[in-house]
């Protein structure tokens, strides 16, 4: 079952008297409880696609659907995690996690249960009463992710959520997200500039061409992960040493390099 569907999506922007096409005839789907990452050259429309799924932007033509229904605006079945942590500085960790639930009118017991669960799952126990400025960047992003998961969304939309973190913290957060996805799977659309991050996290990787962005290729990672038992590896560096991981990473990098250099290439058929 498809949770997110892009059907022949085009997005045209107008600046004064000029127009330019950011996306051209983009079609792909994200299945229920599937993790799909999007990579591509800068300016290819990755974030625009995510914002369309969130209901923050709309296609010039084509359709974007979530749960089989056209997206007409934001909805409670979707939660968004941005690169910037977007926490309320005057609220504690507990209050930040509970904020969305409180806005939805959830009773105190449900708020407490959700906060307690995600404090534990995200390794935030002991920081319940801390304010954002008292936390590291990685800890702040844990709070932002916990707040999104606490809403119990069907779909999680993540726009380079680890882009502002230092390299070591980013690795830790990638491992945390994999662990969380195992115990609490969600349908995830994930935007990243990092090929390694995309291959490590995603079930499939959508490679977009340069502007106007269109689907160049869709890489099946989940099948390779199962065949080589990536999940038996405890840490990310063990996965990255595997020959299958190196092969997928090299394949995507080579494709991106061709796209950046403008090499002519016929879009490949999507891999199911």
Q: How does pLDDT run across 137-174, given as a tens digit for each residue? A: 888 988 998 898 888 899 999 999 888 788 888 888 89
Q: Tell me the per-residue pLDDT of 118-144, one tens digit each, with 9 for 90 and over.
A: 898 888 899 999 999 999 888 898 899
Tell me what pLDDT residue 54 has. 95
Does pLDDT of 258 surpass 80?
yes
Tell me what pLDDT residue 162 has. 86
* Phi–psi pair at 89, nearest 5 degrees: -65, -20
* pLDDT confidence tier of residue 42, bands split at 50, 70 and 90: confident
Cis check: omega of the bond before 66, within 30 degrees of 0: no
Pick the range with the lowest mean pLDDT from 54-63, 177-186, 205-214: 177-186
What are the CA-CA distances from residue 209 to residues 217, 257, 267 (Å)? 9, 11, 9
CATH code, 1-77+187-272 = 3.40.50.300
E strand or H helix that includes residue 112: helix 108-121
Tell me what pLDDT residue 247 has. 96
Average of per-residue pLDDT across 195-219 = 95
* pLDDT confidence tier of residue 180, bands split at 50, 70 and 90: confident
What are the CA-CA distances from residue 95 to residues 69, 100, 101, 130 (Å)? 32, 9, 10, 10
The span from the CA of 147 to the CA of 118, in Å, is 8
Average of per-residue pLDDT across 240-262 = 91
Tell me what pLDDT residue 23 has. 95
pTM equals 0.89
Tell me what pLDDT residue 96 has. 93
Tell me what pLDDT residue 106 has. 86
* pLDDT confidence tier of residue 264, bands split at 50, 70 and 90: very low
């Amino acid at each position: 079952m498809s949770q997110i569907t892009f059907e022949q999506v085009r997005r045209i922007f107008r600046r004064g008297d000029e127009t330019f096409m950011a996306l051209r005839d983009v079609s792909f789907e994200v299945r229920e409880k599937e993790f799909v990452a999007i990579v591509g050259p800068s300016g290819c429309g990755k974030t625009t696609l995510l914002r369309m799924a969130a209901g923050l932007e709309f296609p010039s033509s084509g359709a974007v659907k979530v749960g089989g229904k056209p997206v007409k605006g934001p909805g409670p079945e979707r939660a968004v995690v941005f690169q910037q942590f977007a926490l309320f500085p005057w609220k504690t960790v507990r209050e930040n996690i509970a904020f969305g639930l409180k806005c939805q009118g959830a009773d105190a017991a449900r708020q407490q249960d959700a906060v307690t669960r995600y404090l534990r799952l995200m390794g935030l126990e002991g920081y319940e009463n801390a304010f954002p400025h008292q936390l590291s960047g990685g800890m702040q992003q844990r709070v932002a992710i916990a707040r999104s998961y606490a809403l119990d969304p069907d779909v999680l939309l993540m726009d380079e959520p680890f882009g502002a973190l230092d390299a070591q913290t980013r690795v830790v957060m990638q491992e945390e997200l994999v662990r969380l996805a195992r115990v609490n799977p969600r349908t995830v659309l994930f935007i990243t500039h990092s090929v390694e991050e995309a291959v490590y996290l995603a079930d499939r990787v959508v490679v977009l061409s340069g502007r106007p962005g269109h689907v160049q290729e869709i890489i099946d990672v989940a099948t390779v992960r199962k065949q080589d038992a990536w999940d038996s590896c405890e840490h990310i560096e063990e996965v990255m040493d595997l020959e299958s991981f190196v092969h997928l990473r090299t394949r995507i990098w080579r494709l991106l390099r061709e796209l950046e250099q403008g090499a002519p290439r016929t879009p490949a058929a999507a891999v199911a």
